[in-house]
Amino acid sequence: MNFKEGEVLYFDKPLRWTSFALVNKIRYHISRKLGVKKIKVGHAGTLDPLATGVMIICTGKATKRIEELQYQTKEYIATLQLGATTPSFDLEKEIDATYPTEHITREMVEETLKKFTGTIEQIPPAFSACKVDGKRAYDLARKGDNVELKPKTLVIDEIELLECNLPVIKIRVVCSKGTYIRALARDIGEALQSGAHLTGLIRTRVGEVRLEDCMQVDQFEEWLEKQEIEVTND
């Protein structure tokens, strides 16, 4: 392995970790192993702290591949709680409003999900890494500022209803870069004349990389010890 020339690693991001924290942890172990003060390490696509699953990490010269890797199709398993919303559209914030769900049936859910496949317009969540006048939207939202984001065009290839235990549903989503599953939960809730927020999210695939191909973070140090490391002088 040559981390300076560039390696692409696959991890299952732990719950409550930021994407940045995972990158930092990997950078720390690699730098220590190589005996260097710093090495380039980056990720190919953010995951929210409350999401888990596939995260691609690039090192050294492989960081040039980040943009290419980000554009790959992604697959998620999302659990939605119908009948309640939160400002962040997930469990980061407390429930701020409740809505009726008695009128919702499995058939209604299946019909509604069909409306979200194909090319759609989606307004990103205020609690997101999108930039507004050079600042991260989530920084403004957490301060209580009013955040207005423009709709983005994206593609949802597939939505499949996996479980329907109303008012909780579980769906599988295959989508393009830039899709916010939290925003999709919000929009599905509205389309069902109710509300919804995410209570669980797993990214199960990025391109050809699946969850079963990923390493657990706590295994990385031990795995690293077993690798033959090549060191190139800059």
- Structure tokens given for 155: 């593609």
d(CA 102, CA 99): 10
d(CA 125, CA 141): 10
Strands 84-85 and 97-98: antiparallel
Catalytic residue chosen out of the listed positions 12, 48, 90, 187? 48
End-to-end CA distance of the chain: 16
User: Is 48 one of the catalytic residues?
Assistant: yes
Residues involved in catalysis: 48
